[in-house]
Structure 1
Amino acid sequence: MADLGCGKSCMKYILFVINFLFFILGAAAFGLGIWALVDKNKMNVLTKVGADDSDFNVTGLLESAAIVLLVGGGAILLIGFLGCCGAMKQNKCLLGLYAFFLIIILIVELAAIIIAAVFQGKVQDELKDFLKKNINTTYEGKIDTKEEFSLGLDYAQVYFQCCGIDSYKEFEGATKWNHSANVIIPKTCCKLKDKDEYLKDQKAVLEDENCPTSPTGTNSNINEPCWDSIESYLKDRIAIVIGIAAGIVALEVVCVIFTCCIISELRKYDS
C-alpha cells in the first residue's frame, strides 16, 4: 500500500467521511423519492397541465424528479460504499470506477436540476391558463364529485381558503356546473364550520347557508383568489427536490476532485 503524503492522506480520510455522508444523503434522497411518488394529494391533479394539447405536464415532471431521486439515492448508497473501500485501500481501480460513475450521476442530476428550474418558469406561463380553462370546461361544482379536476380545485379552495384562480367570477362560465341562476359560487368557496372535515371526509358544513347565493367577504373567500397559493405550493415542492439535489451535487464535485488527487498521487508511487 502506498504511503501517501500528509495532504493526500488527509484527502483520503476526508473522502471516506464524505462517502459515509453519502449513505445518509442517499437514504434521504431515496426516501424523498418514495414520498413524492406515493403522495396522492388531491391537489396534484391541478398540475396536469396540457394533457391534451401540450407536452408540459407538471405532475409528470415531479414524478420524473422523484424517480431520479430514487435511482440516484440507490446509486449513491452503492457508490458511497465503493468510494469508502477505494479510499481506505488506496485502490486505483476502485477509485477510478468510483470517479467515473460519480461523474455520470453528476451529469444526470445536473440535467434534472435544470429541468426543475425550467419548470418554475413554465408555471406562470402555462399552469394558470390551464386551470382557468378547466374551470370553464370541466368543473362540476358538486361537493360529492368524483371528477378529478373538480375534486382537486375544491380541495385547494378549502385548503387555502380561496375562491377561483384569479377571481370568483370565473365560475360564471363553468359549463358543466348545473347550478341554479341565483347561485354565484360553489360551496367550497364559502367559509366552513370545520374545513378539516371536508379535507378528510369531503363533507362541507357552511357557516352561512346563504353563502352560495349571497357571498360576501365575511361568509366566503371571494376576496382571496387561489393562484398565489397554488403557485407557492408547487414551487415549494420542487424547491425541496432542487435543494437536496444541489447539496448532493456539491458533495459529488468535491469527491471527484479528491479522488482525482488521490489517484494522481498513487500513480507517482507506481512510476
Structure 2
Amino acid sequence: MDKSSSEESAICHSPSVEGRDSDLGGTSRPGLPCEGRGFTAAAFYGSTGTQEGPGTSTENKSDTGKRTAAKGSKYLVFYLDLSFVFLLEFNKVNMARGCLCCLKYMMFLFNLIFWLCGCGLLGVGIWLSVSQGSFATFSPSFPSLSAANLVIAIGSIIMVTGFLGCLGAIKENKCLLLSFFIVLLIILLSELILLILFFVFMDTVSENAKKDLKDGLVLYNTENNVGLKNAWNIIQAEWKCCGVTGYTDWHEALRESVVPDRCCTEHYQDCGRNSTNMFWTRGCYEKVEEWLDDNKHLLGTIGMCILVIQLLGMAFAMTLFQQIHRTGKKYSA
C-alpha cells in the first residue's frame, strides 16, 4: 500500500502533467487526486484511459470513466468548432483576394481601353491640325480653340489618365493609383465648376458668344483664315442656316449685300451675290440651340455615364490603394 500511494503521488504531481493541466484549466477534486490530471495527460499523449492505482474501487472507476468521457466530448466539440471557424475565415480571406484580383484586372482592362481611345483621339487631332484646314475656330478671340486642338487636348487627357490607371492596377503601385485618383478628382471638379458657371451665367455667355462669332465673320474672305471660311461653309450647308442670327449678319460683316454661296437654298457659283435668290433665314446659333434642346436627354445620359465612370474609377483606385497599404505587400494574383 505504501508503494502504491507513492506511485500515485508521483503520477499526480508530475511536472509535465500538471503543466498541461494548468493550461486547460483542470482542477483536482478531493478523493480523486488523479482524475482531471489523468485525462489531461492522456488527451495530450493520445490516450483516452485514466491513471488507476492498485486500490481504486470499481465504483470509482465507473464514475471516473463517465466524467472522462464527458470531458472528452467537450474537448472534441471545442476542437471541431475551432477548426470550423478557422476554415470559415480562411474561405473569407480567399474570397476577398479573389474579388480584389477580379477588381484589379477589370480596372486594368477598362483603363487599357480608355488609353487606346485617347491615343486614337490624339492621332485624329494631330491629323486634323496638320492636313485639314476645314476644322478651324469660329472665334477670333480664341484662335487656339479649334476643333483639332480640342480633340488633341481631350485625347491627351484620356491617354494620360488611362495610362496611370492601367499601369497602377497591374503593377499594384500605390503612387500611380493615387495619381490616377487625383487626376480623376481634378477632372471631375473642373467639370462641375464649369457646368455650374455655365448655368449661372447662361445669358451672359450666350450674348458674348454671339458677339464673338459675328466678329469672326469679318475674317471670312481674308487670306490667312481659310480654315474659318471652310468651317462656316460646312456648318451652313449641313445645318441649312446662314450667319449667326440671320443672313443679314453677312451684310454687316462684309459691308455689302452679299452672302456666302452656301447660304443659298439652291446652291450654284456666285449665287450669294444675286439678291433675288432665296437664302436660309434662320441663323446657325439658333439651329445649334435647337439641336441641343432636342437632344438634351441624350446629352444628359452621356454626361451621367461619364460621371459614373469617373466615380467608379476613383472608388476602384482607392479600394486597391487601401488593400495594398493594409497588407504592406502584393496579394497573390
TM score, norm. by length of structure 2: 0.53
Q: Distance in 2 between matches of 1:190 and 1:37?
A: 33
Q: Name the SS for the 1:45 alignment partner.
A: coil
Contact preservation (8 Å) 1:43, 1:156: no
**Cross-structure match for 1:91:** none
Q: Distance in 2 between matches of 1:243 and 1:66?
A: 23
- 1:213 has 2:295 as partner: no
| Structure of greater Rg | 2
Q: Distance in 1 between matches of 2:152 and 2:117?
A: 12
**Cross-structure match for 2:241:** 162
1:123 Cα deviation from its structure 2 partner: 5.4
The change in CA–CA distance for 1:113 and 1:63 in structure 2 (over 3 A counts) is farther
1:166 Cα deviation from its structure 2 partner: 0.8
Q: Distance in 1 between matches of 2:249 and 2:137?
A: 19
Structure 2 segments unaligned to the other structure (5+ residues)? 1-89
TM score, norm. by length of structure 1: 0.63
1:115-150 superposed Cα distances (whole Å, 9 cap, x missing partner) = 764678585242211112333x4343x9x9964444
Contact preservation (8 Å) 2:117, 2:158: no
**Cross-structure match for 2:282:** 224
Question: 1:59-208, aligned counterparts within 5 Å?
Answer: 59=145, 63=149, 66-77=152-163, 79-86=165-172, 94=173, 96-110=174-188, 113-114=191-192, 117=195, 124-135=206-217, 137-140=218-221, 147-174=226-253, 176=254, 179=256, 183-192=257-266, 204-205=268-269
1:242 Cα deviation from its structure 2 partner: 6.5
Contact preservation (8 Å) 1:32, 1:69: yes
The change in CA–CA distance for 1:233 and 1:126 in structure 2 (over 3 A counts) is farther
Higher-RCO chain (CA-CA 8 Å, sequence separation at least 6): 1
- Percent sequence identity over matched residues? 14
Contact preservation (8 Å) 2:247, 2:283: yes
**Cross-structure match for 1:256:** 317
User: Could you tell me which amino acid in structure 1 is paired with residue 263 of structure 2?
Assistant: C
Contact preservation (8 Å) 2:213, 2:244: yes
**Cross-structure match for 1:13:** 102
1:155 Cα deviation from its structure 2 partner: 3.1
1:130-183 superposed Cα distances (whole Å, 9 cap, x missing partner) = 112333x4343x9x9964444432332223221121111222323x45x5xxx4
Q: Name the SS for the 1:44 alignment partner.
A: coil
Q: Distance in 2 between matches of 1:37 and 1:234?
A: 28
- 1:45 has 2:137 as partner: yes
Q: Name the SS for the 1:59 alignment partner.
A: coil
1:72 Cα deviation from its structure 2 partner: 3.9
Structure 1 segments unaligned to the other structure (5+ residues)? 52-56, 87-93, 194-203
Q: Distance in 1 between matches of 2:147 and 2:236?
A: 24
**Cross-structure match for 1:34:** 123
The change in CA–CA distance for 1:157 and 1:166 in structure 2 (over 3 A counts) is same
Q: Distance in 2 between matches of 1:113 and 1:65?
A: 17
